[in-house]
């Protein structure tokens, strides 16, 4: 027996300042296309969107990207001190690991060598440990 579940479109979050279609366009936008989309959103709404996205753990970075397209005053107007924090974080350079520099010499390799003898064997218990008394 096959059970079917009704499917419905996503329900918009009443706290989201933009339509579900516009939110989807922002979410799916390539980084180079995002400024063009954001330019079409009024400044106050754009600031509200930045703060809304920033507050969602899975869209935190997108919120910072939107905040980069906002004026600090707009962010502060819509979110107070949080808007100032969002603006500050958005202006910071991202903490991505640096790409390796092909011209840089490779790091030195550290090779540890013993006195040229075979490695020393270490007992992990075995039969000699069974006869010991630890009282």
CA neighbor of 12 nearest in space, from 2, 22, 26: 22
The band of 102, judged by pLDDT with boundaries at 50, 70 and 90, is low
At residue 14, the pLDDT reads: 87
Question: In this structure, are residues 122 and 128 in contact, taking their beta carbons and an 8 Å threshold?
Answer: no
Identify which has the larger pLDDT, 98 or 22.
22
At residue 6, the pLDDT reads: 52
Mean pLDDT of 90-99: 67
CA neighbor of 40 nearest in space, from 20, 55, 26, 24: 26
At residue 100, the pLDDT reads: 58
Question: In this structure, are residues 55 and 78 in contact, taking their beta carbons and an 8 Å threshold?
Answer: no
At residue 9, the pLDDT reads: 62
Q: pLDDT for 36-93, tens place per residue?
A: 999 999 999 999 999 999 999 999 999 999 999 999 999 999 999 999 999 999 999 6
- What one-character-per-residue DSSP string does 37-79 give? HHHTS-HHHHHHHHHHHHTSGGGHHHHHHHHTTS-HHHHHHHH
CA–CA distance, 30 with 56 (Å, rounded to integer): 19
Residue 17 vs residues 13, 52, 74, 91, 94: alpha-carbon distances, Å? 9, 8, 14, 23, 26
Question: In this structure, are residues 39 and 29 in contact, taking their beta carbons and an 8 Å threshold?
Answer: no
Residue 113 vs residues 7, 109, 119: alpha-carbon distances, Å? 66, 13, 10
Least reliable range by pLDDT among 51-60, 99-108, 125-134: 125-134
At residue 8, the pLDDT reads: 57
């Amino acid at each position: 027996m096959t059970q079917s579940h009704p499917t419905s479109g996503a329900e918009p979050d009443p706290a989201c300042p933009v339509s579900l279609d516009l939110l989807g366009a922002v979410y799916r936008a390539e980084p180079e296309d995002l400024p063009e989309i954001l330019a079409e959103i009024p400044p106050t709404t754009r600031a509200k969107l930045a703060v809304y996205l920033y507050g969602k753990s899975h869209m935190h970075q997108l919120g910072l990207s939107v905040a980069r397209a906002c004026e600090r005053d707009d962010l502060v107007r819509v979110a107070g001190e949080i808007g100032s924090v969002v603006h500050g974080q958005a202006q910071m350079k991202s903490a991505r690991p640096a790409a390796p520099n092909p011209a840089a010499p490779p790091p030195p390799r550290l090779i540890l060598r013993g006195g040229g003898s075979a490695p020393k064997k270490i007992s992990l218990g075995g039969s000699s440990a069974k006869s010991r008394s630890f009282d």
